Chains A and B, each alone.
Chain A
Amino acid sequence: ETGVTQSPTHLIKTRGQQVTLRCSSQSGHNTVSWYQQALGQGPQFIFQYYREEENGRGNFPPRFSGLQFPNYSSELNVNALELDDSALYLCASSLGTSGRFDEQYFGPGTRLTVT
C-alpha cells in the first residue's frame, strides 16, 4: 500500500507567477483535501475534492484552484502568486465515505517560497 506522495518537494517562484503542485492519493482513496501551513501556524483548509468534484472550500480566493483526476491524483494551482502564499502545502487523502468523516492521510508537503 503506497502512501500519499507530493511533488515537488521544494519550489521557488516569483511574485505574479503561477504554480502547480501535485498529489498522488493513497491507493483506494477517492477524496483529497488541500491545506496551507504558513510558518508557525497550523494547516488551513483550502478545499476538498470528491470523485473529481470540488465539494467544500475554505477561506481562500479564487486564484487557488484544483483538479482531481480519474485516478484520484490531484493538483493545486495558484495564480498570481503573492509573497504571503509562501507556505507548506499539504494534501491529504481519505476513503471518502459519503457524509462521514474519514481518517485523512497526509503527504509530506511541498514547500513553496515566493520571492
Chain B
Amino acid sequence: DQQVKQNSPSLSVQEGRISILNCDYTNSMFDYFLWYKKYPAEGPTFLISISSIKDKNEDGRFTVFLNKSAKHLSLHIVPSQPGDSAVYFCAARSSYGGATNKLIFGTGTLLAVQP
C-alpha cells in the first residue's frame, strides 16, 4: 500500500527552465510534507517542507505547492541548474499516533538538468 506516490521515475529539463516534480498521497491524516534531495553515495538532505494548513511555501528557487483536496503536491525549481540533478523524494508525516519523526517516502524522481 503505497501511501505516497511519485509517478514519474525520471525527468529531464534544460538548464534555466522550470522543473516540476509531482507527488500524490492517499492518507488524509498526513499533515506535514517534505521534499528531500539525494545524491549518489549520500544520505537524503532536506530541501523544503509545507504544513497542511498552507498551500504554498517558497525558499529561493524552490517552491512547494499543496492541493489538499486533490491530495497532491508539487515541487517547482526555477531556474533549474545542473547541480540540481539528483533523486528527489517526497515524504509525508502524520501527527496522529506513532513516532513523531516517522516519514513515509515516495519512490523518488530522478531529475537530470541538461546544460
Q: Which residues of B are found within 8 Å of A108, using beta-carbon distances?
A: 41-43
- Tell me the number of A-to-B contacts counted with CB atoms below 8 Å: 72
Q: Which residues of A are found within 8 Å of B44, using beta-carbon distances?
A: 43, 90, 106
When the two chains form the complex, which single residue of B36, B41, B101, B104 contacts A102, counting CB atoms closer than 8 Å? B101
Q: What is the interface of chain B, defined by CB distance below 8 A to chain A?
A: 4, 6, 32, 36, 41-46, 89, 91, 93, 95, 98-108
Known: A101-B32, A103-B46. A45 touches B103 (CB 8 A): yes
User: How distant is A13 from chain B, measured CB to nearest CB, in Å?
Assistant: 20
CB pair B105–A43 under 8 Å, yes or no, is yes
Q: Which residues of A are found within 8 Å of B89, using beta-carbon distances?
A: 42-43
CB pair A48–B43 under 8 Å, yes or no, is no
**Cα-based distance from A47 to B103 in the complex (angstroms):** 11
Q: What is the interface of chain A, defined by CB distance below 8 A to chain B?
A: 4, 31, 33, 35, 40-45, 47-48, 50, 55-58, 90, 92, 94, 98-109
When the two chains form the complex, which single residue of B32, B99, B104 contacts A47, counting CB atoms closer than 8 Å? B99
**Cα-based distance from A10 to B32 in the complex (angstroms):** 33
Known: A101-B93, A107-B43, A108-B41. A55 touches B99 (CB 8 A): yes
**Cα-based distance from A59 to B42 in the complex (angstroms):** 25
